Chains A and B, each alone.
Chain A
Amino acid sequence: MTDRGKRILILFAHPSPDRSEVNVPLAETSTEHSAVTFVDLYREYPDLRIDIDREQQQLREHDVIVFMFPLYWYSTPAILKEWQDLVLEYGFAYGAEGRELHGKTFLCAITAGGTENAYHREGFNHFEVRELLVPLENTAGLTGMHYLPPYVLFGARTAVEEGRVSEHIAGWQRLLDALAANTLNLKRAAGSNTLNDELAAIAGSTA
């Protein structure tokens, strides 16, 4: 748990990046991070024909796996689902021999159109974001990865106008630093609803 220099793989999925206001700036910041390998899935596989061997090799070479995407219908954009279907093969990610992902950390960095209030039992969407991502959490479980709650920007459609983007990006940078340096308290974080809640703790620990 104390080894230094974790390698982070960000799998970015945005089908119309030319319209993006938050995800693309977030992604650009990510590419500048030294510990990060950044993959724009729609750029690599515009026809959704994913190179399974290449993706699996990339997974082997990293310790932290991040899905970065805008929430589409309470789930990932299509290519990330395709990626899961193809790359997380029997014998690679699960099954008797399939232990390649064991011990890695998995998390999502997402943007949601609805406000934070909307993602509550009483709210418009009836579920917490973390609850909606349960399929991914279970996938992480089955493949032996440590699941972390998502890092979320709510109300993404108005974030630029309300000047919330730079703060969000700064938070993400701190998270990346903590993940790379392995200073994030994974056990504590795993119990939160969102990783945003952990930012204060990170700030405290580094201060």
Chain B
Amino acid sequence: MTAYFLQGFIYLIAAIIAVPLAKRLGLGSVLGYLIAGVIIGPVTGLVGQETVTIQHFAEFGVVMMLFLVGMELDPRSLWEMRNKLLGLGGLQLSLTVGAVTAICLLIGLDWSIALTIGLVLSLSSTAIVLQTFSEKGLTNTEGGRSAFSVLLFQDIAVIPMLAMLPLLAIPELVEIAAQHGGGEHHVELSLVAHMPPWAHALVVIASVVGLIVAGRVLSRPLFHYVASSGLPEIFTATALMLVVGIAALMSLVGLSPALGTFLAGVVLANSEFRHELESDIEPFKGLLLGLFFITVGAGINFAALQSNLLIVIAATLGLMAVKGLVLLIIAIIFKIRSSARWLLCLSLAQAGEFGFVLLSYTQQHAVLPAEIAQVLSLVVALSMFLTPALFIFFDRVITPRYKETEGEREPDKICEYGPVIIAGTGRFGQIVNRMLVANGIETVVLDHKASQIEEMRKINIKSYYGDATRTDLLHAAGIEKASLLVVAIDEPQRALELVEQVKKHHPHVKILARAYDRMQNFALRHNGADVVISETYHSALEMGEEALLALNYHPFRAQHLKYAFEETEDEISDDLYLSWRDEDEANTFSEHTRDLFLKLEDKIRHAMGQDRDGKHSRSERGWTPPPKNYLDTIQGDDNRDNKGENQD
């Protein structure tokens, strides 16, 4: 027991020291974990024997990660990815396997060994790549998504590989294994070990179908039942139970647990409990994944490395070059350009954790000789170790280079002009655009977030990548011919600059700007915006009206109270603006502004139906009846008037 505590302590403290340090140095958390592992393992020898056991345990982190990845994808978006998945993934895998196998054959290895090595090394590290992507915010870039497709295909491909590898077994090795009586005790608990192939296939299909059906049908009542207990830890336990259970089931029938949980994640992607599940699993995933990386570092066998140093280094570099090249070719075929192309090449050029899995499997099934397997596992580990360096290379060298040229390439060529230019297609600009387009008005939409543009294109809204504050881009968008500019970009400062620029250089363009709050509203107005709408103001007014309705106000009255509020606001906002401007120039907080705010509140209270002249409330002005004594005092007069006129 004491030993476990000690080792646990060592692992944790290594992570705690190394990871933040690595992050601060810009190396990313993955490298931090790897270095921590190297230090506590081969360097200082604090841990050692138990690494393999812990590694098995830590692989569970990968399983959880795929569960979470699955949950990010609902079946529909998975289906939409099918071309990329098959195209990119299939090509990467087959080309890499082919290339590695060919090289192995060239250096004189037996074909079955060569093919096995090709299969083992063709896989990349889902764990490192996805973790790094999410840390660097690359998940939703073009390169990130392409890489994800490849990884997903690889993870699926592990299943046929596991089925195929035993066929490659080398008779002599099998004999040795049999003599040692080994193999058996390595074989894990399995339901299907002694089944004929057709039964095996049936069991596998039944498990997968069962998983999907149970996920669809049983998960809801289960989660409801658990959630109704009101005990968050039991919900966490359920989430863990689910992942552990699926992983166990998949292992039992000889499928990849990671793939099984991925599938379960996809099934649960539309569940109402999705976010809760995610946040429950997330911390476990993070820690276990970290543990996994530590064990990769700690598992590096320095003795074996020293004796095969040159071979390992040459093989690792060679492998990464080959994989990178294959990816480059694919990127060219699939027309992935600029920095996305480099991201795809560099991020997937390593071997992955499934390589370890396959390696231990090849050992069990006597496919590879032990010494080759050991060198290979060093190559896998080393290539994983080098991956963060490639990401750093990408960050420091590739990205800055493309920042410049990306500016050249994207500002996409704008081929259509319209009377309206819309800058920013977030939740606000989008609605404006939709309304205009629905009425057949041509718009030119600009946004500097490439992902946003792609989203818009998916729903058939033509929009262009580009920073609207750049004069050349505005020119390209046809600002000279435009009559309207809608500014709906998020960054307040950039919105202000844009308004100011356009007002200065293109005074004929009417500017409609979206403001974050009252202060920005004033600032935009000050910079020359013709119409300013505060983004939440009108929806809040609607909500206020809904609140009155919910309090049983008559709908017509509720609406007019809202109008009265709005009118009063409008009335005094000019005063407030002037006060703000003076204050802005004097750069002091004036008492005046505060007074105005108080006055505003007062006015609004007054407008809200307090009696005017004892009879008329402002909000209902004109619909109030005459005074009760009206007939007594007036009728005589009135009749005389009318009579006079009629007889005139």
Is the CB–CB distance between B621 and A52 below 8 Å?
A: yes
Residue tally, chain B, CB below 8 Å to A: 20
Is the CB–CB distance between B621 and A90 below 8 Å?
A: no
* A82 vs chain B, min Cβ distance (A): 9
Is the CB–CB distance between B626 and A95 below 8 Å?
A: yes
With contact pairs A49-B563, A86-B621, A96-B633 given, residues A142 and B626 touching in the complex (Cβ less than 8 Å): no
Minimal Cβ-Cβ distance residue in B for A88: B622
Is the CB–CB distance between A141 and B621 below 8 Å?
A: no
Is the CB–CB distance between B626 and A90 below 8 Å?
A: yes
A142: which B residues are within 8 A, CB to CB? 638, 642
Is the CB–CB distance between A144 and B626 below 8 Å?
A: no
A21 close to chain B: CB less than 8 A: no
Minimal Cβ-Cβ distance residue in B for A103: B645
A130 close to chain B: CB less than 8 A: no
B641 close to chain A: CB less than 8 A: yes
| Chain B 616-631 per-residue mask, 1 if CB under 8 angstroms from chain A, else 0 | 0000011111110010
* B640 vs chain A, min Cβ distance (A): 11
With contact pairs A96-B637, A141-B645, A141-B646 given, residues A85 and B622 touching in the complex (Cβ less than 8 Å): yes
**Which of the listed residues A52, A90, A187 has the most CB atoms from chain B within 10 Å of its own CB?**
A90
A87 close to chain B: CB less than 8 A: yes
B217: which A residues are within 8 A, CB to CB? none
| Chain A 56-72 per-residue mask, 1 if CB under 8 angstroms from chain B, else 0 | 00000000000000000
Distance A95 CA – B630 CA, assembled complex (angstroms): 7
**Which of the listed residues B622, B624, B630, B634 has the most CB atoms from chain A within 10 Å of its own CB?**
B622
Minimal Cβ-Cβ distance residue in A for B622: A86
Is the CB–CB distance between B623 and A95 below 8 Å?
A: no
Minimal Cβ-Cβ distance residue in B for A50: B622
Residues of A within 8 A of B (CB): 49-50, 52, 85-87, 89-91, 94-96, 141-142, 144, 146, 187
**What are 8 A-B pairs at a CB distance below 8 A?**
A85-B622, A86-B622, A90-B624, A94-B634, A95-B626, A95-B630, A141-B645, A146-B645
Is the CB–CB distance between A90 and B630 below 8 Å?
A: yes
**Which of the listed residues B563, B626, B637, B646 has the most CB atoms from chain A within 10 Å of its own CB?**
B626
A50: which B residues are within 8 A, CB to CB? 622
Distance A187 CA – B613 CA, assembled complex (angstroms): 39
Starting from the known contacts A94-B626, A141-B645, 9 additional A-B residue pairs (CB-CB under 8 Å) come to: A52-B621, A85-B623, A86-B621, A89-B621, A89-B622, A94-B634, A94-B638, A96-B634, A146-B645
Distance A39 CA – B625 CA, assembled complex (angstroms): 27
Is the CB–CB distance between B622 and A144 below 8 Å?
A: no
Is the CB–CB distance between A86 and B645 below 8 Å?
A: no
Is the CB–CB distance between B621 and A144 below 8 Å?
A: no
Distance A146 CA – B648 CA, assembled complex (angstroms): 10
Distance A4 CA – B612 CA, assembled complex (angstroms): 39
Minimal Cβ-Cβ distance residue in B for A55: B622
Q: Which residue of B622, B626, B642 is within 8 Å of A52 (Cβ)?
A: B622
B627: which A residues are within 8 A, CB to CB? 90
B625: which A residues are within 8 A, CB to CB? 90
| Chain B 555-578 per-residue mask, 1 if CB under 8 angstroms from chain A, else 0 | 000000001000100000000000
B626: which A residues are within 8 A, CB to CB? 90, 94-95
A89: which B residues are within 8 A, CB to CB? 621-622
* A138 vs chain B, min Cβ distance (A): 9
* A95 vs chain B, min Cβ distance (A): 6
Minimal Cβ-Cβ distance residue in B for A86: B622
Is the CB–CB distance between B634 and A95 below 8 Å?
A: yes
Closest 10 CB pairs of A and B: A86-B622, A90-B626, A141-B642, A96-B634, A52-B622, A89-B622, A49-B563, A96-B633, A95-B634, A52-B621
Distance A49 CA – B646 CA, assembled complex (angstroms): 34
With contact pairs A52-B622, A85-B622, A86-B621 given, residues A144 and B641 touching in the complex (Cβ less than 8 Å): yes
Distance A144 CA – B567 CA, assembled complex (angstroms): 32
A144: which B residues are within 8 A, CB to CB? 641, 645
Distance A144 CA – B646 CA, assembled complex (angstroms): 10
